[in-house]
Amino acid sequence: MNTDKTRDIAAMLLRAAKRKRLVSYQELHALFGRDEPLQSRYRALADAARSLSDCASLDYGCLMSLDNGLPGDDFFNRFRHDRPHEYEKVMGFGSAGRSTTKKRLIADAERLRVFEHASQTEANGNAANTSARTPRRNARNAPRRSRVDRKCETPLNDKA
C-alpha cells in the first residue's frame, strides 16, 4: 500500500476534525485511481485512522460519512472489535448491528471525542508556537466549556 495515500487520508481526517466536519466517502475515493481495489482503499483508511490515534480508544474513521450521515461498516467493525463492551452497551448483546438509531449514538459520541481530541491537539501545538510574552489562561479568564465539551469526557450513555 502506498504510504503517501495513508498520509493524505490522515491529513484529510485531521483537517476535518479540527474544522468539526465530516468527510464523504467520495472524497476518500477521489484520492485513488480508478484501478485501485476497494480493499486497499479501506486498508489505507484504517491505517490512517490508526496513525492519528489508537482505534481502541479513539477512531478518527468515525468522521467518514455515507449519504445517511453515518460512517460505513468499516468503522463499526473496528469499533465492535476494539471496544466490544461499549458496542454491546449500545447495540445490545448479540446484536446484528442493523439499528441505524443505535449506530448514530455510537457515531455521534465518537465524533464528539474526535473533535475534542483534535482541538486539544491543536491547542497543544499552538501553545508550543506562542511567544513567552503570551499570558497563560487562569480559572478567571479561561473560556467556559460548553455542554458539548463536557459530553466528550463521558463514555457512551446507556440510552438505546
Instruction: Give the per-residue pLDDT at 47.
Output: 96
Report the distance separating Cα 139 and Cα 128, nearest Å.
21
Whole-angstrom distance, CA of residue 89 vs CA of residue 86: 5
Residue 150 pLDDT > 80: no
Answer yes or no: is pLDDT of 131 > 60: no
Contact 79, 60 (CB under 8 A): no
Least confident piece of the model among 14-23, 48-57, 77-86, 94-103: 94-103
Query: Residues of the chain with pLDDT > 70: what percent?
Result: 76
Return the number of other C-beta atoms located less than 10 Å from residue 160's C-beta: 13
Domain ranges in the chain are 3-125+141-152
Model confidence, pTM = 0.73
- What is residue 129's predicted lDDT score, i.e. its pLDDT? 38
pLDDT at 125: 67
| pLDDT tens-digit map of 111-120 | 999 999 999 8
Find the mean pLDDT for residues 146-152: 40
At residue 137, does pLDDT exceed 60? no
- Per DSSP, the chain holds a count of helices (H) and strands (E) of 7, 2
